[in-house]
Amino acid sequence: MRIDVVTIFPGYLAPLREALLGRAIAAGLIDVRVHNLRDWTRDVHQAVDDAPYGGGPGMVMRPQVWGEALDDVLGDEPARLIVPTPAGVPFTQATARRWKDEPRLVFACGRYEGIDQRVVDEYASRMPVEEVSIGDYVLVGGEVAVLVMVEAVARLLPGVLGNPQSAEQDSFSDGLLEGPAYTRPVVWRGREVPAVLRSGDHGAIARWRRDRALERTAKRRPDLLAALPEDALDQRDREF
């Protein structure tokens, strides 16, 4: 997968080259290219923003510079353009799963009050474009949102995780939150690892994990339980 990020703070994306993602890049599983939006400015101040029409606080990112940058970065290769914004559709694990099969994702990082809306409208008339939010809060720029989304997508790509089963068993994979996890020692500060996990009885362990996932989801995210399809819970789940 190729990932392009356009930003006025290229340094913000440096963590993409760390740890798991860094290894995936080194292994050629992901090709990440970060572009400085200011390279497409033409004035001496390299201005990327201007005052908003209609008044109000803050500045809006200029369409001309974004248009020239995106034309060059997109080129002729098919891509999906992602525009992070708190006013976007929520980014979820389902979004990550959908994007993992894309050959190319291009992220446009906004700053200030965001990007002139005509940029989104223009590219949406010729290619897939999505305005997405990583949560109901407001960040100062799109860079951190891009780090979040790229990491969520990249760990689903074949070969990126050492053990692909971990992604299959994670929270949200079956619509539930994952239950608690434990490692050695058996007793730590008087707290014991549940006996069933040490029993070697795989059926009992699977049932215990399922019950804890249901319990945790019901307590912390009842909205997820309510959204499960009719056939997602078996008779035993319902008894829980």
Determine the interface stretch with ligand SAM among 139-147, 155-163, 177-185, 201-209 (rule: CB under 6 A): 139-147
Q: Measure CA 31 to chain center.
A: 17
Instruction: Kindly tell me which residue out of 137, 163, 165, 200 binds ligand SAM, with binding defined by CB under 6 A.
Output: 137
Q: Is 116 a residue of the active site?
A: no
Burial 151-168 (b: 16+ CB within 10 A, else e): ebbbbbbeebbeeeeebe
Interface stretch with ligand SAM, choices 47-55, 131-139, 177-185, 225-233 (CB under 6 A): 131-139
Q: Catalytic: 231? A: no
Number of residues that make up the chain? 240
- Separation between Cα atoms, residue 179 and residue 212, nearest integer Å: 5
Closest CA to 6 of 132, 126, 110: 110
49 binds ligand SAM (CB under 6 A): no
- Catalytic residue among 50, 68, 102, 113, which? 113
* 114 versus 175: smaller Cβ distance to ligand SAM: 114
* Alpha-carbon span 232 to 228, nearest angstrom: 6
CA angle 212, 227, 194 (to 5 degrees): 5
x/- binding map, residues 78-117, to ligand SAM, per CB under 6 A?
Answer: ------xxxx---------------------xxx-xx---
Q: Catalog residues that contact ligand SAM under the rule CB under 6 A.
A: 84-87, 109-111, 113-114, 133-135, 137-142, 145
